[in-house]
């Protein structure tokens, strides 16, 4: 029995040496697994201020990372981390997260605000936030079931001018009341 | 993982037993606890590293049986335990995870037992419940203390002068002592030379204790005796945070290496020259890899930490055994919870490849670490890691610490809460 094990160990040892000599460059899984400590396993976040990446489009993640890297989008650690990856590595991670199913969150939301948001969203935001926010046009992020506190923090950055709003979004958001905006965020957070 | 007196004595016994097991023939060994049929990975330790290694191996290859051995039926996180010590968290519930969902969701076989020896030749682990054989072993034992470098700091002294550097009863004890201390009292904290678990941890703890004293015992102070010549992690941020918030409360004294304690006199000795007394004394002793790693011959020339391959985290001392987390030497990756999480996934991917005779994958890792300065302000350090010429390095021109003016500190405190929620959810579901 011991001999058998030794023989097996020797065989795998040989394999290990030959494999180690030619370790492949980091794969999409190798790269994106490291993000999951903060963004959740497979990009499904359990933390209310941390966005889920699962189900975001490739373009949305690529553009977000590019803007974090350049400093155009305000961030805390994301700017510092984005600088650690090449464009090709970002694309590999973005592709992987885009193939995950949208992460469904369970959060406490206001029913009246959801209803109000539902009445506002199609005519105001629906052209870019497609399918009740389950999808996004071009690099527009998916908003469905995203964490409310995360979206509120981002909207505060938009409204204060810290984060630059896309022109088309600005046209719609500028005339809205704070209550309307809040209602829209509750609506998107509620979509399952 | 807690280290009460009983388990400490067991560990000391384990050390002696392990040396015997390696040199003696396999006669009269304990019975096989769970006979192995197919491919099996055994993981030692159910903390930041072990849980993730176990889960991700199963996520990547369901044909591999994974057995995770942990002495406790739960785990208490060291990250955020300083907030409990400072009274910001009222209990340890949010820091505590159980293992039932790792079993239910991923089929990880969790064995609650004490590992007493590893036999690398026989590919077998001896536990308090019997032996378990493996094809590959992942060791994630965290740290133990170099008590020979802290004279008088025995298990009885730990009950009077808690280290609280393994979260659990020790954390609760330190909190209780702070609450019981009279106003006008002095808290003394000792900090060892690097490397040790969680480089900014002592300074976050000093901040949290000062936060508590400021609000509740304003005539009191905390003396930090640091063996190092300066604060080496987030140094500028801590100094500014202390100046802005805790002037006159934190008395930071660099290059003061404590080598001896007197639990009866409630005093510590700085290199046999200077005695410092305290009403509450938090001794953070010098550290090394968890005892089982030492007993199994996994530590390197420094006799403290485990050298590993920078792709697979396989020990350079023992074939077929991988070491992750605080216990290993991971180059530029610090001894942090997030590093352990990241290392576990890198290790898991390559363990799966090696077992299946497939090509391994180069490392890409991350560390993200937050430290609270007040109850509402936190600062961070973040890094991305790669391999160059066989060594783990930080990717040039990336990573770094929070802005020096604390402009992001309130936002980072909010992100830190989600950091905890996500990383503990990863470990327990």
* Domain spanning B175-285, CATH class: alpha beta
Q: Any idea which residue has 């996994």 for tokens?
A: B298
CB contact under 8 A, A49 and B341: no
Mark which residues 310-369 of B lie under 8 Å from A by CB: 311-312, 314, 319-320, 338, 341-342, 345-346, 349, 353-355, 357-366, 368
**How far B246 CA sits from the closest chain A CA (Å)?**
25
> How many whole angstroms separate alpha carbon A4 and alpha carbon A74?
59
pLDDT string in tens for chain B (429-residue length): 444 444 444 444 443 434 334 444 444 456 899 999 999 999 999 999 999 999 999 999 999 999 999 999 999 999 999 999 999 999 999 999 999 999 999 999 999 999 999 999 999 999 999 999 999 999 999 999 999 999 999 999 999 999 999 999 999 999 999 999 999 999 999 999 999 999 999 999 999 999 999 999 999 999 999 999 999 899 999 999 999 999 999 999 999 999 999 999 999 999 988 999 999 999 999 999 999 999 999 999 999 999 999 999 999 999 999 999 999 999 999 999 999 999 999 999 999 999 999 999 999 999 999 999 999 999 999 999 999 999 999 999 999 999 999 999 999 999 999 999 999 999 999
A93 and A148 belong to one structural domain:
no
Query: Which of B99, B98, B120, B121 has the alpha carbon at shortest distance from B110?
Result: B99
Q: Nearest 5°: phi and psi at A135?
A: -135, 170
Whole-complex ipTM: 0.91
Q: Calculate mean pLDDT across residues A155-164.
A: 96
DSSP bridge partners of B115:
B127
Q: Do B398 and A80 touch (CB under 8 A)?
A: yes
What token pair was written down for B374?
């007040």
Nearest 5°: phi and psi at A104? -90, 120
> What is residue A21's predicted lDDT score, i.e. its pLDDT?
56
**Same domain flag for A115 and A139:** yes
Alpha carbon distance B149, B165 (integer Å): 16
If you measure CA to CA, which chain B residue comes closest to A52?
B422
The residue behind tokens 């995360």 is A150
Which residues, in sequence order, are CB contacts of A166 under 8 Å at separation 6+?
none
CB B75 within 8 A of CB B47: yes
Task: Please check whether residues A116 and A91 belong to one and the same domain.
Answer: no
User: Which residues of B fall within a CB distance of 8 Å from A106?
Assistant: none
Minimal Cα–Cα distance from A48 to chain B, Å?
6
The predicted pLDDT at position B29 comes to 56
Can you say whether residue B20 is alpha, beta or left, with left for phi > 0 and alpha for psi between -120 and 50 degrees?
A: alpha
How far is B151 from B40, CA to CA, in rounded Å? 42
Chosen domain end from A98, A126, A142: A98
Residue A77 burial class via C-beta count within 10 angstroms: exposed 0-12, middle 13-18, buried 19 and up: buried
Residues of CATH 3.50.50.60 domain(s) within chain B? 5-145+288-360, 175-285
A48 and A119 in a single domain? The answer is: no
**HEC string of chain A?**
CHHHHHHHHHHHHHHHHHHHHCCECCCHHHHHHCCHHHHCHHHCCCCCCCCCCCCCCHHHHHHHHHHHHHCCCCCCCHHHHHCCCCHHHHHHHHHHHHCCCCCCCCCCCCHHHHHHHHHHHHHHHCCCCHHHHCCCCCCCCCCCCCCHHHHHHHHHHHHHCCCCCCHHHHHHHCCCCHHHHHHHHHHHHHCC
Residues A124 and A180 in one domain: yes
User: Under an 8 A CB cutoff, do B426 and A12 touch?
Assistant: no
Chain A touched by B309 (CB under 8 Å): yes
| Residue that terminates a domain, selected from A58, A75, A98 | A98
Contacts of B353 in chain A (CB under 8 A): 19
Query: Closest-CA residue in chain B for A3?
Result: B122
Q: Cα(A172)–Cα(A45) distance, rounded to whole angstroms?
A: 29
**Does the distance separating the beta carbons of A12 and B320 come in below 8 Å?**
yes
CB contact (8 A) between residue A153 and residue B414: yes
Q: Which residues, 6 or more positions from B355, have their beta carbon under 8 angstroms from its beta carbon?
A: A12, B39, B41, B61, B64, B135, B136
Residue B101: the pLDDT is 98
pLDDT band for A3, please (50, 70, 90 cuts). Answer: very low
Question: How many residues in chain A?
Answer: 192
Select from A119, A118, A114, A178 the least CA-distant residue to A152: A178
Question: Residues A78, A167: contact at Cβ < 8 Å?
Answer: no
Say if B414 is an interface residue toward chain A (CB within 8 Å). yes
Per-residue pLDDT at A189 exceeds 50: yes
Nearest to B360 among A6, A12, A23 (CB): A23
Task: Give residue B234's Cα distance to chain centre.
Answer: 19
B423 CB neighbours in chain A (<8 A) are: 37-38
Contacts of B314 in chain A (CB under 8 A): 16
Q: Is residue A32 part of a domain?
A: yes
Q: Domain count of chain A?
A: 2
A60 and A121 share a domain?
no
Cα Rg, chain A, nearest whole Å: 21
B422 with A12: Cβ contact below 8 A: no
CA-to-CA distance for B44 and B59, rounded, in angstroms? 18
Instruction: Tell me: do A161 and A133 sit in the same domain.
Output: yes
Instruction: Give the A:B interface size as CB pairs under 8 Å.
Output: 165
Which comes out higher in pLDDT, residue A9 or B340?
B340
Assess if residue A45 is contained within a domain. Answer: yes
Residues of A within 8 A of B365 (CB-CB) are 34
Q: Which of B357, B366, B420 sits opposite A15 (nearest CB)?
A: B357
CA distance A9 to chain B (A): 8
Domain that holds residue A144: 111-190
Mutation target to probe the A interface, by most A beta carbons within 10 A, among B97, B330, B337, B345 is: B345
Q: Which of A68, A141, A45, A57 is nearest to A94 (CA)?
A: A57
Quick one: A93 and A115 in the same domain? Answer: no
The CATH code of domain B5-145+288-360 reads 3.50.50.60
Domain boundary residue among A33, A63, A98?
A: A98
Q: Which helix (H) or strand (E) holds B124?
A: strand B124-127
CATH number at residue A121: 1.10.760.10
SS (H, E, C) B341-367: HHHHHHHHHHHHHHHCCCCCECCCEEE
Test mutation, A15, A32, A77, chain B, max B CBs within 10 A? A77
Residue A75 forms part of a structural domain: yes
Measured between beta carbons, the chain B residues lying within 8 angstroms of A83 are: 384, 395, 397-399
Query: Do residues A37 and B368 lie in contact, with contact meaning Cβ atoms separated by under 8 Å?
Result: yes
Assess whether the previous peptide bond of B195 is cis (omega < 30° from 0): yes
CA distance B373 to B409: 9
Q: Phi/psi at B139 (nearest 5 deg)?
A: -110, 120
How many residues are recorded in chain B? 429
Q: In this structure, is the dihedral angle defined by the CA atoms of residues B360, B321, B48 and B396, taken in order, positive or negative?
A: negative
Chain B residues whose beta carbon lies within 8 Å of the beta carbon of residue A89:
364
Return the bridge partners of B280, or none: B187
Where would I find the beta strands (DSSP E) of B236-361?
Answer: 250-253, 258-262, 267-270, 274-277, 280-283, 287-289, 306-307, 321-323, 328-329
Mark yes or no for CB contact A22/B359 under 8 Å. yes
Interchain proximity B420–A47, CB inside 8 Å: yes
For residue B417, list chain A residues with Cβ-Cβ distance below 8 A: 47-49
Q: How far apart, in Å, are the Cα atoms of A55 and each of A41, A185, B97?
A: 13, 18, 28
Nearest to A77 among B357, B365, B380 (CB): B380
Q: Contact A40/B341, CB-based, under 8 Å?
A: no
Average pLDDT, chain A: 91
Asked whether residue A105 is assigned to any structural domain, the reply reads: no
For residues A86 and A145, membership in a common domain is answered with no
Q: Are the beta carbons of A30 and B349 separated by less than 8 Å?
A: yes
CB contact under 8 A, A24 and B422: no
CB B280 within 8 A of CB B188: yes
Q: How far is Cα B169 from Cα B171, in angstroms, rounded to an integer? A: 5
Pull the structure tokens for residue B412. Answer: 């980072």
Contact A41 B429 (CB under 8 A): yes
Start-to-end CA span in chain B (Å): 19
**pLDDT number for residue A22:** 76
Question: Of the candidates A25, A29, A34, which has its C-beta nearest B365's C-beta?
Answer: A34
């Amino acid at each position: 029995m011991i001999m058998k094990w030794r023989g097996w160990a020797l065989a795998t040892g040989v394999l290990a040496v030959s494999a180690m000599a030619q370790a492949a460059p980091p794969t999409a899984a190798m790269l994106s697994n490291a993000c999951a400590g903060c963004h959740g396993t497979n990009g499904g976040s359990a933390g209310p201020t941390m966005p889920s990446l699962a189900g975001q489009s490739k373009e949305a993640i690529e553009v977000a990372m590019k803007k974090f890297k350049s400093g155009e989008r305000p961030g805390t650690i994301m700017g510092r981390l984005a600088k650690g990856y090449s464009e090709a590595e970002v694309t590999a991670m973005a592709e992987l997260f885009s193939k995950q199913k949208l992460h469904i969150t369970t959060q406490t939301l206001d029913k009246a605000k959801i209803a109000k948001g539902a009445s506002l969203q199609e005519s105001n935001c629906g052209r870019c936030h497609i399918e009740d926010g389950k999808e996004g046009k071009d690099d527009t992020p998916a908003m469905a079931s995203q964490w409310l506190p995360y979206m509120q923090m981002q909207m505060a950055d938009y409204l204060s001018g810290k984060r630059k709003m896309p022109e088309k979004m600005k046209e719609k958001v500028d005339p809205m009341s704070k209550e309307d905006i809040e209602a829209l965020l509750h609506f998107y957070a509620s979509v399952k | 993982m807690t280290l009460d007196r009983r388990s400490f004595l067991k560990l000391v016994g384990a050390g002696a037993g392990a040396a015997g097991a390696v040199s003696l023939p396999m006669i009269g060994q304990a019975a096989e606890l769970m006979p192995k049929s197919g491919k099996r990975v055994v993981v030692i330790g159910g903390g930041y590293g072990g849980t993730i290694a176990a889960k991700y191996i199963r996520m990547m290859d369901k044909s591999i049986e994974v057995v995770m051995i942990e002495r406790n039926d739960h785990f208490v996180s060291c990250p955020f335990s300083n907030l409990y010590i400072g009274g910001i968290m009222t209990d340890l519930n949010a820091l505590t995870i159980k293992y039932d969902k790792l079993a239910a969701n991923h089929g990880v076989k969790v064995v609650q037992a004490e590992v007493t020896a590893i036999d690398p030749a026989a590919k077998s682990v001896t536990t308090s419940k019997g032996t378990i054989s493996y094809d590959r072993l992942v060791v994630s034992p965290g740290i133990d203390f170099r008590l020979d470098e802290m004279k008088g700091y025995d298990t009885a002294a730990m009950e009077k002068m808690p280290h609280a550097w393994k979260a659990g009863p020790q954390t609760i004890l330190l909190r209780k002592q702070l609450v019981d201390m009279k106003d006008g009292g002095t808290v003394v904290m000792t900090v060892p030379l690097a490397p040790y678990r969680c480089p900014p941890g002592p300074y976050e703890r000093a901040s949290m204790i000062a936060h508590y004293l400021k609000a509740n015992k304003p005539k009191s102070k905390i003396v930090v005796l640091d063996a190092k010549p300066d604060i080496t992690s987030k140094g500028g941020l801590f100094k500014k945070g202390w100046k802005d918030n805790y002037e006159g409360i934190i008395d930071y004294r660099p290059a003061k290496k404590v080598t001896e304690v007197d639990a009866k006199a409630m005093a510590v000795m700085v290199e046999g020259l200077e005695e410092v007394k305290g009403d509450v004394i938090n001794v953070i002793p010098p550290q090394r890899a968890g005892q089982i790693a030492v007993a199994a011959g996994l530590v390197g020339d420094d006799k403290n930490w485990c050298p590993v391959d920078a792709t697979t985290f396989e020990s350079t001392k023992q074939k077929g055994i991988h070491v992750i987390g605080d216990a290993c030497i991971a180059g530029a990756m610090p001894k942090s919870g997030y590093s352990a999480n990241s290392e576990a996934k890198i290790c898991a991917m390559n363990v799966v490849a090696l077992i299946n005779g497939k090509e391994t994958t180069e490392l890409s890792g991350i560390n993200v670490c937050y430290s609270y300065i007040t109850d509402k302000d936190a600062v961070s350090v973040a890094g991305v890691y790669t391999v160059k010429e066989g060594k783990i390095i930080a990717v040039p021109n990336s990573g770094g610490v929070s802005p020096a003016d604390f402009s992001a500190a309130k936002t980072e405190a909010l992100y830190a809460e989600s950091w905890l929620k996500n990383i503990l959810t990863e470990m327990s579901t």
